[in-house]
Amino acid sequence: MTIGQLASMINGQVEGDSEAVIDNYSKIEEATEGCLTFLANPKYTHYIYTTKATAVLVRKDFVPEHTITANLIRVEDPYETLAQLLNIANSQRPEKQGIEQPSFVAPDVVVPDDIYIGAFSYISNNVKIGNNVKIYPQVYVGDNVTIGDNVILYPGVKIYHGCKIGNNCIIHGGAVIGADGFGFAPKKDGTYEKISQIGIVVLEDDVEIGSNTTIDRATMGATVIRKGAKLDNLIQIAHNVEIGENTVMAAQVGVAGSTKIGKHNMVGGQVGFAGHITVGDNNGFGAQSGIPNSVGSNQRILGTPGINALEFARQNVYFKRLPEMTQDIKRLKKQIEEIKNEKL
Contact 289, 269 (CB under 8 A): no
Q: Which of 66, 161, 172, 239 is catalytic?
A: 239
Query: How many Cα atoms within 13 Å fall on the side-chain side of residue 108?
Result: 8
- Is residue 172 annotated as a catalytic residue, yes or no? no
Q: Specify the amino acid at residue 100.
A: E
Reference 111, options 127, 96, 95; nearest CA is 127
How far does CA 179 lie from the centroid of its chain?
20
Contact by Cβ (8 Å): 213, 219: no
CA distance 214 to 226: 16
SS (H, E, C) 49-110: HCCCCCEEEEECCCCCCCCCCCEEEEECCHHHHHHHHHHHHHHCCCCCCEECCCCEECCCCC
What are the residue numbers of the active site?
Answer: 239
